[in-house]
Chains A and B, each alone.
Chain A
């Protein structure tokens, strides 16, 4: 009876919150979870309960899986909004079961999972599938080390969960050495964008997890993702079940097990999201005709909402997650691959929206050296830590004449007007909103 009441309460508070214009994705579940931390073990689940976790790429992978599942006729309950902690998971699940019989109202629960909250959400082996996109250094204040995240994810996985993993990541692939149940692997083969040596020294998991010898890479896609093997033959990426080949970001296409598939963004993480979702859909038996529709004939339209026009120039807003070097790397890679003159806006007022700490060490895990590009006209440093960002750029040997220090954000567009080329913002959440407002005021 208590469980039914808490389900009722969650639904009621969610509806009330939405009427009041709130997102209501966290608070309703908090009420229920705090009242009964085992509540998620007391409801019934559908045939498919698919979790997606990892340091980055969860949201874009979920979006594509949902698209494919819906095309196949499944009804899907999904937390797409980025709310992926225990309270949000509780809100999602309780809002999608019936009050009295506690039966699922959807065919699939598709859940984005915070790496540290899986073990709180799934006390019983409820997950039928778990997709793990990658494990990298990310928000060290809460996530500590990649090893800590690995332990958090996989200590929560019970047998009977079918793992779908990115084998290009040795930290993720390590689970194949111990997990006894089903595992399906995916990975991207050599691309024209790869490099032979790591670009920075801070490569996570550079050593064999079994014999602790340095792994040898044939190539790196980015970070520590690539094709690696232990020289003692103890561990390797090896062959994967679903392999991406012929990645062409300019044409936004790749092949997966020889089937041509469109990628909806011209950036490598989108190829990974496509491959992870494709692997998931195939693993649960979605047929090829539906999969072809999902990616090729009726794909999710690429979001162009973050491209604006100012001063007759493109302003491309690349939101980059602070404390996550690979998130910045993706933005840097995109900028340097873009042809023609460029201006970059870089900086932040707050390191995190979760906490008030001023840890700047991660700036030195980001490969800002990539900005040594003759096509870059100016790099405008903004925000409370602009001088720290400028220090990082000067240590990356970037010509100090290119570095502009902006004291008042309200003057940003005046300064931008005097620069050349496409404008890229490489900023975190707080500055994205402020720049959008300035651009809005201009119009």
Chain B
């Protein structure tokens, strides 16, 4: 039986908002499906072979840590581009979205070059204008709405392939009702939560898709605590 391999990229630098939880969640959902799953924790100076993995996860980090990561990640630009084109799964949360765009512009208008895989870029906004709050989105991928949290100091510019539509909350920039980025199996969003923990139906969508693509069995099972937590939250009208 094939083992699903997950690479948690820069686990020690891009893990500012409990994003370890997203990887734990993926692992748990695969285990519930009786699939074999392995997680490798990878960081600066590790040799990352992008052919070896089915899923790549990267979470958010401080500005300083993002610079350290970019410094290391740049050498993999071609490998990452190929992996995305080859339909490998990339799950990217928080400000890690910025790594895959053209550049990030800081408050002094200085540009930090990024991987330049997608045409969007991030622009830092003043701390007083930070985007903070609970979010409620929808997506064409699943029936259930998406919940989560944002706490960010950047906006996204030139986003042409959004992942979610805003029901309540803020989009990729303040006047947008679209959020996130999707291209092939690249799923990127500013949402924290952790995203996959708080949205088990979305996680299940990804897990089911990955299992089917690998000719592995899938059985619907929505009984674990994360589903109850999701339903409790979504049914509580005072949630936000």
Contact = CB atoms under 8 A, between A and B. Distances in A.
Interface string A353-366: 00001111111110
Interface string A122-147: 00000000000000010011001111
Nearest to B12: A206
A395 B16 contact: no
B226 A391 contact: yes
Contacts of A365: 18, 20
B44 A395 contact: no
Interface string A236-256: 000000000000000000000
A194 interface: no
A147 B12 CA distance: 15
Interface string A333-375: 0000000000000000000000001111111110000000000
Interface stretch (A30-38, A83-91, A159-167, A382-390): A382-390
A390 B229 contact: yes
B15 A212 contact: no
Contacts of B127: 144, 148
B20 A200 contact: yes
Contact of A357 (B13, B62, B132, B228): B132
B229 A364 contact: no
Contacts of B86: none
Contacts, number: 110
Given A141-B132, A358-B149, A361-B149, A207 B13 contact: yes
Interface stretch (B21-29, B76-84, B206-214): B21-29
Contacts of B71: 212
B193 A361 contact: yes
Contact of B19 (A359, A361, A384): A361
B229 A201 contact: no
Nearest to B21: A364
A202 interface: yes
Contact of B62 (A145, A201, A214, A361): A145
B74 interface: no
Instruction: Give chain A's interface residue range (CB within 8 Å of chain B).
Output: 20 to 34
A362 B18 contact: yes
Interface in B1-55: 8, 11-13, 15-21, 24-25, 28, 41, 43-45
Contact of A144 (B11, B64, B153, B236): B153
Interface string B125-151: 001001011100000000000000101
Given A387-B232, A391-B225, A361 B12 contact: no
A212 B43 CA distance: 13
A137 B194 CA distance: 16
Contacts of A357: 132-134, 149
A185 to B, nearest CB: 23
11 contacts: A145-B16, A201-B12, A201-B20, A202-B18, A202-B20, A214-B44, A360-B149, A364-B194, A388-B229, A390-B228, A394-B225
Interface of A: 137, 140-141, 144-148, 200-203, 206-207, 212, 214, 357-365, 384-385, 387-388, 390-392, 394-395
